[in-house]
Amino acid sequence: MADSFSELRGAGGSNKPWIAAGVSALAFALIMIALAAAWWSARPQAEPNQLPATVTVTAQPSEQTTAPDELAPAGTYSGRFNSLDPATETQSWVAVATFGGGSATLTYPDSGCSVLIDESLDNHPLTQACITTPGTTGTWEIDASEAGLVHMTFLEDNQPIAGGTLSIGLPG
């Protein structure tokens, strides 16, 4: 019986074009890898996030008017609240307030606390992450007399606890 592969060996011709194509593809891939590495190393490195010591917010909102039954012009305001008690562990934190319909919700994204501020300015915690002093009544003072800004102060039994100025818009 004859070798069944002998016919194939003679019929195929030269493998040189296939070898040349493979070597060319490999060389092309290596060149592209080298170019990608050069491009990657030439890019400027990202700087680590650092919080500034002082943040200045300049609000330039459109003209807004407050309806008589509103706490502040409807919309979302953001900024930082500061503790008015120097013994407090956390002195400053992010706050986002949304006003509308005669009430507001205030959220502290870092702690997960959300509260409802009703039309009589009473504080109603909506999440268990909110820390209040047992036996005290929480109320708010809200001043929206400056366009685009809302000044808020939280009081427990008429003693100021924390406050801050929020500007219209979401945190950037």
Predicted confidence (pLDDT) per residue in 64-91, tens digit: 555 556 788 888 999 999 988 877 777 8
The answer to whether the beta carbons of residues 114 and 124 sit under 8 Å apart is: no
Long-range contacts of 102-110 (CB under 8 A, 24+ apart): 102/69, 102/70, 102/71, 103/71, 104/71, 104/72, 104/142, 106/152, 108/81, 109/171
pTM above 0.85, yes or no: no
Q: Residue 50: what pLDDT? A: 61
Question: Is residue 171's pLDDT more than 80?
Answer: no
Q: Minimal CA–CA distance to 118: which of 93, 100, 136, 145?
A: 100
